[in-house]
């Protein structure tokens, strides 16, 4: 999932638009916020990351994985998943994210 940190003075909505363009080279339409999920990074057990999550519609089907600026999270492939597929044990995700998606 595309994502990143909010820059000082930037709204979460502007952040989402920027991050999706940076990571997959595509424009989105934000439909609505759907909730929050959280995790404790394995590399720093002293912080907790809270993520705002939005329902979005992608503006076209062209995905560009070549421009992702995050070197440590190199995107090698992507796959569209249904809600049902995402919730199976086949796909790992944070428990709080799975619980959020399950409620949709």
* CB neighbour class for 16 (10 Å; exposed up to 12, middle 13-18, buried from 19): buried
Q: pTM for the whole thing?
A: 0.79
CA atoms of 36 and 69, how far apart (whole Å): 24
Which 8-state DSSP code applies to residue 7? P
Q: Are 87 and 102 in contact (CB under 8 A)?
A: yes
Phi, psi of 30 (to 5 degrees): -80, 120
CA atoms of 52 and 13, how far apart (whole Å): 10
Per-residue pLDDT of the chain (104 residues; tens, 9 = 90+): 667 789 999 999 999 999 888 888 889 999 999 999 999 998 999 999 999 999 999 998 777 777 666 666 666 677 889 999 999 999 999 999 999 999 98
């Amino acid at each position: 999932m595309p994502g990143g940190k909010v820059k000082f003075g930037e709204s979460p909505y502007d952040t989402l638009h920027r991050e999706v363009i940076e990571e997959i080279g595509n424009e989105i339409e934000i439909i609505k916020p759907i909730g929050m999920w959280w995790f404790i990074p394995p590399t720093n057990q002293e912080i907790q990351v809270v993520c705002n999550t939005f329902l979005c519609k992608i503006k076209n089907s062209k995905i560009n994985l070549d421009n992702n600026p995050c070197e440590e999270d190199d995107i090698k492939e992507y796959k569209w998943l249904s809600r049902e597929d995402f919730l199976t044990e086949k796909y790992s995700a944070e428990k709080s994210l799975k619980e959020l998606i399950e409620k949709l």
